[in-house]
């Protein structure tokens, strides 16, 4: 389960993290991200219509669409039913992990401490989200957590912008970086899909070795 997610993230290198209030923007958003070179995207379950957004984006067929900010087992079930192919959580919750396992869907739980990371490893997870990465201490914190756990790979997310992207991706323990700067709520509200495509293409370019 986690191997599949690790492979996806390693290929994608960037994961646009999307908060989409209006499902009508989902299809053109998916097309803009794909046109910019994104391979996957995370739709946060922070809006009432997140399920419809996941379903509409997944229907475009150009992106592997996952669900983020998954806080409960019920949300995990709804996300997968809507077409989410992976799950991301801001924290480590045993019930959410168990539900993902039962559904056969990979999950990257959020960790912020060594204790949480040890719990994730005990649960069979080796790909985690470091969250919130920048407020926790950025790359210095990432290195401090990665050192005792060489088998774990990270998707740092939280406060990371385009300028910081290459530095994070240069860390050996990092598979991919999650960020919201490529498709902000303001860009979605204005319908500026050309700018979303440009920012995504720029991020993809920055992510290349």
Q: How far is CA 95 from the centre of its chain?
A: 20
pLDDT digits (tens, 9 = 90+) for 153-177: 999 999 999 999 999 999 999 999 9
pLDDT at site 170: 97
- pLDDT value of residue 2: 53
C-beta separation of 133 from 156 below 8 A: yes
129 is catalytic: yes
Do residues 127 and 155 make contact, with C-beta atoms less than 8 angstroms apart?
yes
**Confidence at residue 209, expressed as pLDDT on a 0 to 100 scale:** 82
Tell me, yes or no, if 95 is annotated catalytic.
no
**pLDDT, average across residues 28-40:** 98
pLDDT of residue 4: 87
State the pLDDT at residue 178.
98
pTM of the model as a whole:
0.96
Q: Is a pLDDT exceeding 70 seen at residue 121?
A: yes
Tell me which residue of 107, 95, 72 sits closest to 1, measured CA to CA. Answer: 107
Q: Strand, helix or coil at 42? A: strand
Q: Is the pLDDT of residue 1 over 70?
A: no
Of 42, 51, 55, 134, which is the active-site residue? 42
Active site residue: 51, 55, 129, 134, which one? Answer: 129
């Amino acid at each position: 389960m986690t191997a599949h997610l690790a492979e996806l993230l390693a290929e994608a290198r960037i994961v646009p993290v999307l908060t989409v209030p209006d499902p009508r923007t989902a299809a053109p958003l998916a097309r803009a991200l794909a046109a910019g070179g994104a391979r996957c995207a995370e739709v946060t379950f922070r809006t009432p219509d997140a399920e419809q957004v996941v379903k509409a984006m997944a229907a475009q067929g150009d992106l592997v669409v996952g669900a983020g900010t998954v806080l409960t087992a019920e949300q995990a079930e709804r996300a997968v039913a809507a077409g989410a192919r992976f799950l991301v959580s801001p924290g480590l919750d045993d019930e959410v992990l168990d539900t993902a396992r039962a559904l056969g869907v990979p999950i990257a739980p959020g960790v912020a401490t060594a204790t949480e990371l040890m719990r994730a490893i005990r649960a069979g997870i080796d790909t985690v989200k470091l969250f919130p990465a920048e407020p926790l201490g950025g790359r210095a914190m990432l290195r401090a957590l990665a050192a005792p756990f060489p088998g774990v790979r990270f998707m740092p997310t939280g406060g990371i912008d385009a300028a910081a992207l290459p530095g994070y991706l240069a860390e050996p323990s990092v598979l991919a970086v999650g960020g919201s700067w490529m498709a902000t709520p303001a860009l979605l509200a204005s319908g500026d899909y050309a700018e979303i495509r440009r920012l995504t293409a720029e991020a993809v370019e920055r992510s290349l070795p």
